[in-house]
């Protein structure tokens, strides 16, 4: 949620256009307005703020409005405090128009902080919590504090996870402050410096980064005070922090659509390869992690949203494969389990972005009890990776669509492999999953996609879709519902097939679509029986199964993947969700009200 891009370059580099380019690369994070602040030809602060999508904004127009100087700060905003309007878009400025602020996250104590400013007659131009930062820095400068000290003074008073950029247009400095939300510095050629909430904001121009850790700030200088490298400080103490430059290995071609109409369908189709990539792990490390799982006194698998459903499936996988009980929970509820945590507890944290605020908060709870953290993550260098005791990469490559697809099946694959490793059957697990990857490759062909498109045309005007599953496919039914909700805006409800008679059956009427996720396991016959109950009430039954059945009105064939059935069963629903979105005139890459990385509570 929200995106930040900062560029400090040389005279005439066209900084506003560079920042605009970076912001466009962060569109997938989710936003409703955007803005840029830059220094004009006279060295004065100029701002541009707009509501709506940034995709149509041209570099030429932004340059005409803001100039082609060497410094600019940009932001895409996902509204929290204050409505969606130009006055609430970032950057926000102080009373004197000297300090510009862009900000991700929420300042939980902003009302208390704002009350003091109001009492001291500051003029507010927005309804945001962000604007108070500009005014407090303004006050610090007026008292004779340095820009660095003024910024640290207010940063130390903030509550809640956030990150912000403060630009002092007269003093020639930019402060990038991280207080729980991600910020990364990029080091470019010939003195160029970048800051972004995501490496995608500048990865087109450099892959050399310096990480800002929590409770730290980076100082970038420009103009007469320009320095070749940023200075890093501890926010609380003001002491300097040494940093090193790290190279990020992320292939740019994976972030283009490669001829597809949307990122979502491209990423769905990439599952032909990413399942195999996910299990391309070092055997020795997998056995080491498996030993930690076996020796732990309590294992929790924790994730948020789609990853939370994957974790629930993981609980079944460990029970079935390793005959071992693990606990799964969604990250936002994890703190309720804190009384069970000890130094012998192992938390397996699952995330695509590695920046989800609920998961990072859950890790704080676990660490406060001395628990060890193992993360399964897709973004190298993410906060999750760096706060974990150990990590395994998903190897799915960049995922740009908000709805997660290839990262989801990568997570399922890696958890399945971990369960096999814990059972002492690592090679067997690898063989199963490599075979599953080959079967997915065969399944995702044009004829199969066309069959799903025909189903989408039938369902496009549906108001509700029900999805049932049993065993390990019960959480996959819930994940299938998430996919339909977030892409097509159709109300979808996923639940355990055995719960039909405990309420949901009352919602079934003639023509109600119901997707039955069937695996060739000990839940098969019961799931088919549940589908028959739906059909007996007039429902339209769509079977996702290895074999056809008379109860199915429409059959989507999937491979018989055994215990890996969650991987193959979710993919046709992903394709269905994509084509429903397209038929309903919805952009499947950027659903309304949602963001790729949820960095605010």
* Domain shared by 240 and 310, yes or no: no
User: What pLDDT does 250 receive?
Assistant: 56
Please indicate, yes or no, whether residues 156 and 79 belong to a single structural domain of this protein: yes
- Written as six digits, the tokens of 411 are 């997570």
Q: Which helix (H) or strand (E) holds 285?
A: helix 283-295
Nearest CA among 301, 375, 296 for reference residue 342? 296
Q: Is residue 457 part of a domain?
A: yes
Please write the tens of the pLDDT for every residue from 396-409. 988 989 999 999 99
Give how far the C-alpha of residue 94 lies from the chain's centroid of Cα atoms, to the nearest Å: 32
What angle is formed at CA 183 by the lines to CA 18 and CA 275, rounded to 5 degrees? Answer: 95
Question: Could you confirm whether 596 is annotated as catalytic?
Answer: yes
pLDDT score at 597: 66
Interval 228-275: pLDDT, tens: 789 999 999 999 999 999 887 655 444 578 789 999 999 999 999 999
Given the residues 24, 266, 483, 596, select the one marked as catalytic. Answer: 596
Task: Tokens 């005791």: give the residue.
Answer: 389
Helix, strand, coil % in the chain, rounded to nearest 5: 40, 20, 40
Which of 443, 461, 488 represents a domain boundary (last residue)? 443
Return the residue matching tokens 């800002």: 212
Point out the domain boundary residue: 383, 410, 443: 443
Question: In 3-state terms, what secondary structure has residue 597?
Answer: coil
Q: Which residues pair with 299 in a beta bridge?
A: 346
Number of domains in the chain: 3
Do 599 and 161 contact (CB within 8 A), yes or no? yes
CA distance 212 to 105: 16
Domain boundary among 191, 213, 247: 247
In the structure encoding, which two tokens stand for residue 273, read together? Answer: 């390869």
The pLDDT value recorded for residue 253 is 41
| One domain, residues 278 and 341 | yes
Residues 118, 110: Cα–Cα separation, whole Å: 12
Instruction: Say yes or no: 452 and 439 in one domain.
Output: no
Can you give the pLDDT at residue 362?
96
Q: Is there a single domain that holds both residue 297 and residue 425?
A: yes
Q: Are residues 457 and 389 in the same domain?
A: no
Contact 411, 309 (CB under 8 A): no
pLDDT at 582: 97
Both 234 and 262 in one domain: the answer is no
CA 371 to chain centre: 24
Regions in the chain scoring below 70 on pLDDT: 1, 249-255, 597, 599-601
Examine the residue annotation and report whether 2 is marked as an active-site residue of this protein.
yes
Q: What is the 3-state secondary structure (H, E, C) of 332-382?
A: HHHHHHHHHCCCCCEEEEEECCCCCHHHHHHHHHHHHCCCEEEEEECCCCC
pTM: 0.81
Instruction: Tell me the average pLDDT of the chain.
Output: 93
- Catalytic residue among 2, 243, 266, 514, which? 2
Exposure string of 321-338, with b = 16+ CB inside 10 Å and e = fewer, is bbeeebbbbbbbebbebe
Give the span between the Cα atoms of 131 and 114, in whole angstroms: 9
What pLDDT score was predicted for residue 248?
A: 78
* CA 279 – CA 264 distance, rounded (Å): 22
Counting beta carbons within 10 angstroms of the beta carbon of residue 259, is it exposed (0 to 12), middle (13 to 18) or buried (19 or more)? exposed
Helix (H) or strand (E) holding 194: strand 193-196
Pair 438, 449 in one domain: no
């Amino acid at each position: 949620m929200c995106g930040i891009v900062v560029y400090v370059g040389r005279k005439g580099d066209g900084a506003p256009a560079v920042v605009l380019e970076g912001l466009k690369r962060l569109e997938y994070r989710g936003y409703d307005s955007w803005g840029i602040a830059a220094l004009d030809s006279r060295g004065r602060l100029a701002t541009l703020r707009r509501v709506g999508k940034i995709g149509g904004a041209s570099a030429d127009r932004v340059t005409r409005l803001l100039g082609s100087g060497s410094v600019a700060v940009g932001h895409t905003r996902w509204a929290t405090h204050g409505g969606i309007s130009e006055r609430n878009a970032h950057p926000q400025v102080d009373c004197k128009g000297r300090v510009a602020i862009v900000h991700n996250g929420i300042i939980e104590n902003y009302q208390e902080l704002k009350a003091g400013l109001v009492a001291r007659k500051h003029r507010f131009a927005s309804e945001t919590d962000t604007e108070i930062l500009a005014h407090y820095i303004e006050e610090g400068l007026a008292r004779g504090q340095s820009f660095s000290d003024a910024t640290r003074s207010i940063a130390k008073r903030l509550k809640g996870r956030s990150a912000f950029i403060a630009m002092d247009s007269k003093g020639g400095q930019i402060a990038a402050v991280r207080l729980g939300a991600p910020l990364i510095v990029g080091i470019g050629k010939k003195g160029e410096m970048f800051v972004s909430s995501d490496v995608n904001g500048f990865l087109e121009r450099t892959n050399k980064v310096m990480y800002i850790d929590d409770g730290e700030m980076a100082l970038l200088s420009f103009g007469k005070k320009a320095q070749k490298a940023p200075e890093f400080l501890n926010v609380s103490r003001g002491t300097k922090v040494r940093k090193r430059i790290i190279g990020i290995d992320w292939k740019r071609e994976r972030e283009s659509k490669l001829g597809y109409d949307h990122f979502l369908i491209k990423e769905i189709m990439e599952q032909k390869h990413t399942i195999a990539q996910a299990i391309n792990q070092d055997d020795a490390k997998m056995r080491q992690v498996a030993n930690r799982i076996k020796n732990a006194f309590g294992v929790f698998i924790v994730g948020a949203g789609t990853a939370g459903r994957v974790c629930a499936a993981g609980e079944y996988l460990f029970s079935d494969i390793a005959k071992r009980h693990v606990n799964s929970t969604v990250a936002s509820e994890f703190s309720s389990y804190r009384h069970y945590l000890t130094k012998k507890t192992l938390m397996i944290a699952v995330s695509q972005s590695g920046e989800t605020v609920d998961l990072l908060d859950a890790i704080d709870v676990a660490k406060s009890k001395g628990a060890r953290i193992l993360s399964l993550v897709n973004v190298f260098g993410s906060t999750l990776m760096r706060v974990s005791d150990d990590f395994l990469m998903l190897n799915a490559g960049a995922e740009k669509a908000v709805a997660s697809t290839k990262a989801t099946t990568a997570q399922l694959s890696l958890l399945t492999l971990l369960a096999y490793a814990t059972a002492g059957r690592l090679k067997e697990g690898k063989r199963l999953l490599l075979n599953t990857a080959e079967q997915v490759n065969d399944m995702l062909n044009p004829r199969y996609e066309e069959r799903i498109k025909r189903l989408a045309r039938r369902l496009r005007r549906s108001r509700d879709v029900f999805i049932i599953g049993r065993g390990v496919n019960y959480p996959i039914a819930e994940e299938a519902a998430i996919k339909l909700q977030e892409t097509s805006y159709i109300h979808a409800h996923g639940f355990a097939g055995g719960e039909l008679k405990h309420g949901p059956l009352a919602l079934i009427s003639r023509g109600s679509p119901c997707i039955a996720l069937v695996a060739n396991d000990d839940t098969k016959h019961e799931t088919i029986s549940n589908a028959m109950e739906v059909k007996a009430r007039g429902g339209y039954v769509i079977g996702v199964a290895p074999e056809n059945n008379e109860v199915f009105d429409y059959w989507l064939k999937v491979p018989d993947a055994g215990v890996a059935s969650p991987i193959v069963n979710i993919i046709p629903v992903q394709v269905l969700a994509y084509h429903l979105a397209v038929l309903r005139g919805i952009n499947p890459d950027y659903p309304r009200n949602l963001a790729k990385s949820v960095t605010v509570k």
